[in-house]
Amino acid sequence: MRFAAPLLAVLLTAAAPPVLQTATFAGGCFWTMQHGLDEVPGVVKTVAGYTGGTVANPSYEQVSSETTGHVEAVRVTFDPARISYADLTRRYFRMIDPTDSGGQACDRGPSYRATIFTNSSTQRQAALAVEAEAARQLGRKIVVPVRGASSFWPAEGYHQHYADKNKLQYGAYRVGCGRDRILAKLWGGAK
C-alpha cells in the first residue's frame, strides 16, 4: 500500500517516541531529591547517584567519607514537551535551600551540597536565569554552583527510590531532618 507523503509524515510523527532530555541536580540526600523529582509531571525517570568528583565508580562509603569530591545527585530524564528545563530547575529550587552552602537541613558536608550540573550551554543559561530569579524572590544570595556535567555513577540499588521502598524509615528521616520546615519558612513568603 502506498501512502501520500503528507499522510506518511503524519503516521511517522504520531509513532515517533518523545525526544527526552536529561538534567542532573544535587541537593542534599538523594533520597529526598529523587522522591521529590519523581513527582514532577514530565519526569520520566530518575536515578540516584554520585557526580562531580574524582573517583571512578565510587561507593556510598567513599562519597560519605568526603574525600572523593562527589556529591549525592539525581539524574533526571524528562520530556521537554511536558516540562521545560527551566521549569524543572524552578521545581528543583523549591526542593532545596539555595542559600545554604554547607549541605541541606540535617545533611551536612560537601557531598550534600546543592549543585546544578548542565549538559549544554542552553541548560547553563536557563539554570543561571532561574538562579537569578530565585535570588530576586528570596532577596538573598544564592550559593548553588552551576557546573558542566561530568561522569555520573548510579548509587547502589538499595538507594534507588529509597523513599518508596522504605516508607516508615524515610518518613522518620524526613520529619527528623526538618527539611520541610526549613523550606516552608524560606519559600513560604517568596513570590
Of the candidates 3, 5, 182, 20, the one whose C-alpha atom is nearest the C-alpha of residue 106 is 182
Q: Can you tell me whether residue 34 is helix, strand or coil?
A: helix
Asked if 73 contacts 26 with a C-beta cutoff of 8 angstroms, the reply is yes
Burial of 88 (0-12, 13-18, 19+ CB in 10 A): buried
Q: Is 177 a catalytic residue?
A: no
Q: What Å distances lie between residue 19 and 13, 80, 88, 119, 144, CA to CA? A: 12, 8, 16, 15, 28
Single out the catalytic residue among 29, 33, 88, 138.
29
Cite the active site residues: 29
